[in-house]
């Protein structure tokens, strides 16, 4: 089933994101995580993609596990980074053969000073155009409520989203954020620009302080004072930080749903137990 059909058919969707292991020997453990996450009956499960090399096949194998073994719609990622066009075409053919109808098309992180190699993509919109021309896929893209770290301004970043929409992007998933007001302002700006694709709110339950410090460094995500106080108070106490992080994420999601946001996407960090607690907290809210 296509993601746009899922989102349009339900009042609220809650999906989860997983990432594949770096080594083939770890696939058994990853498969267990997939099955534990699928048992929560999320609306769909996305699987991140490590472009090129052996790990790309891991991503496709886990997407196959999600959809064809567990019966949950899969949303595999494809990235521009290190992906020659022939590799992407091969991945598209393999995904289509597996009956997978959805792809999240991303640029990925391009290393400093790394030039565009011949036969590769540099921007997500280029990748989206090729997926669209291949046919048969519902295409998603990423968006940044606080603006992409490399964008000159948020407005310029939103203009880039309009280009993605024109290139075949049919829905968007946000980078994580911790202040809902930032998302509400962002959605208003998208509407002003005429971008009407469904937007799924990306929520990360923070269960350890080291994790979030690294994420903030990479993404520039702003931590509201209320959340920073939680980190300061409980960051050195793993059990307390996990409980507080789940509570904060739950409260964020409740506020989002109350304000009309229909799509919630959990960055689970391969922790089905964390996703399970959040789903339990929302059991009567999302029915």
Write the pLDDT tens digit of every residue in 212-230: 877 777 777 889 999 999 9
Tens-place pLDDT, residues 25-42? 567 788 899 999 999 999
pLDDT at residue 54 is higher than 90? no
In a domain, 139, yes or no: yes
The four Cα atoms 151, 154, 156, 162 give a dihedral, to 10 degrees, of: 110
Cite the active site residues.
17
In a domain, 287, yes or no: no
Helix/strand/coil for 13: strand
Question: Quick one: pLDDT at residue 107?
Answer: 86
Query: 54: exposed, middle or buried (C-beta count within 10 Å: 0-12, 13-18, 19+)?
Result: exposed
pTM of the prediction? 0.92
Range name among 111-115, 164-168, 226-230 with the lowest pLDDT average: 111-115
CATH code, domain carrying 67: 3.20.20.220
Range name among 127-131, 173-177, 216-220 with the lowest pLDDT average: 216-220
Distance separating alpha carbons of residues 148 and 36, to the nearest angstrom = 33
Tens-place pLDDT, residues 247-281? 999 999 999 999 999 999 999 999 999 999 999 99
In a domain, 88, yes or no: yes
In a domain, 208, yes or no: yes
Q: Structurally, how many domains does the chain consist of?
A: 1
Alpha-carbon distance values, 214 to 23, 73, 211 (Å): 23, 31, 6
Instruction: Supply the range of the domain harboring residue 70.
Output: 3-281
In a domain, 286, yes or no: no
Query: If residue 47 lies in a helix (H) or strand (E), which one and from where to where?
Result: strand 45-47
Query: If residue 16 lies in a helix (H) or strand (E), which one and from where to where?
Result: strand 13-18
- Hey, which residues does 13 pair with through a beta bridge? 263
252: closest CA among 266, 236, 233, 270? 266
In a domain, 171, yes or no: yes
In a domain, 146, yes or no: yes
In a domain, 52, yes or no: yes
């Amino acid at each position: 089933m296509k993601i746009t059909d899922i989102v349009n058919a339900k009042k609220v969707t809650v999906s989860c994101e997983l990432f594949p292991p770096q080594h083939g020997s770890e696939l058994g453990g990853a498969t267990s995580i997939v099955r534990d996450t699928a048992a929560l009956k999320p609306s769909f499960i996305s699987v991140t993609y490590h472009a090129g090399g052996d790990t790309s096949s891991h991503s496709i194998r886990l997407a196959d596990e999600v959809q064809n073994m567990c019966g949950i719609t899969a949303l595999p990622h494809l990235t521009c980074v290190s992906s020659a066009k022939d590799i992407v075409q091969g991945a598209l053919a393999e995904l289509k053969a597996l009956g997978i109808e959805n792809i999240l098309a991303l640029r990925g992180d391009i290393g400093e000073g790394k030039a565009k190699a011949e036969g590769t993509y540099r921007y997500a919109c280029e990748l989206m155009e090729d997926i669209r021309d291949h046919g048969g896929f519902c295409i998603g893209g990423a968006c940044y409520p606080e603006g992409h770290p490399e964008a000159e301004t948020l407005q310029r970043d939103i203009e880039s989203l309009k280009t993605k929409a024109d290139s075949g992007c049919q829905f968007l998933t946000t980078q994580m954020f911790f202040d809902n007001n930032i998302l509400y302002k962002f959605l208003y700006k998208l509407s002003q620009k005429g971008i009407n694709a469904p937007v799924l709110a990306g929520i990360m339950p923070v269960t350890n302080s080291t994790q979030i410090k690294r994420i903030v460094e990479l993404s520039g995500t702003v931590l509201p004072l209320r959340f920073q106080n939680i980190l300061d108070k409980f960051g050195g106490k793993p059990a307390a930080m996990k409980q507080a992080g789940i509570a904060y994420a739950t409260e964020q999601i409740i506020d989002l749903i109350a304000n009309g946001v229909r799509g919630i996407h959990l960055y689970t960090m391969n922790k089905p137990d964390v996703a399970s607690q959040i789903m339990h907290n929302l059991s009567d809210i999302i029915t």
